[in-house]
């Protein structure tokens, strides 16, 4: 049965190689999603940046503070997603946090009519992030 042992060893090597490639794929997906979460961080600079990002006019300082704080929260999520690329044990939590962030925004957009073009673009980008996070989660569970 030496031939069957060689096949078993080859099969195990193949499975391990595929697992390593899948880990790289999960990291690539998380990198892309971290970049998506870093994009709104420019809003922390003030109302001009927020207007450019979202196509909205910031009329009062309270709204500006809330939106700038939102930018800080995106930075925190983006940093954690980015760190999870290097720490596989962080990935399940990073994926969960990313999913909560993206799904909550997408659900909120469904409850409002008349999104402007910049918010609509954010919705499309978040759909991409959602697909990547789901794929990363499924792969993470399987490997």
Please state at what angle helix 117-142 crosses helix 47-54, rounded to 10 degrees: 80
Q: Read off the pTM.
A: 0.88
> What pLDDT digit, counting tens, does each position of 36-50 carry?
999 999 999 999 999
Neighbours of 12 (CB within 10 A): 10
- Per-residue pLDDT of 83-114, as tens digits, reads 999 999 999 999 999 999 999 999 999 999 99
Per the listing, tokens 């880990």 go with 23
User: Tens digits of per-residue pLDDT, 57-85?
Assistant: 999 999 999 999 999 999 999 999 999 99
Residue 32 has a pLDDT of: 98
33-38 average pLDDT score: 98
Check residue 16 and give its pLDDT. Answer: 78
At 19, the pLDDT band (50, 70, 90 cuts) reads confident
Position 2 pLDDT exceeds 60? no
12 near 56, Cβ under 8 Å?
Answer: no
């Amino acid at each position: 049965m030496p031939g069957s042992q060689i096949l078993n060893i080859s099969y195990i090597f193949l499975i391990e190689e595929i697992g390593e490639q899948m880990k790289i794929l999960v990291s690539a997906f998380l990198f892309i999603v971290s970049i998506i979460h870093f994009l709104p961080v420019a809003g922390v600079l003030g109302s001009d940046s927020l207007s450019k990002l979202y196509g909205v006019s910031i009329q009062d300082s309270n709204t500006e503070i809330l939106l700038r704080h939102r930018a800080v929260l995106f930075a925190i999520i983006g940093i954690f997603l980015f760190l999870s690329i290097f720490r596989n044990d962080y990935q399940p939590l990073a994926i969960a946090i990313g999913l909560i962030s993206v799904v909550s925004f997408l659900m909120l957009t469904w409850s409002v009519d008349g999104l402007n073009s910049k918010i609509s673009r954010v919705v499309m980008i978040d759909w991409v992030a959602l697909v990547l996070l789901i794929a990363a989660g499924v792969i993470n569970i399987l490997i």
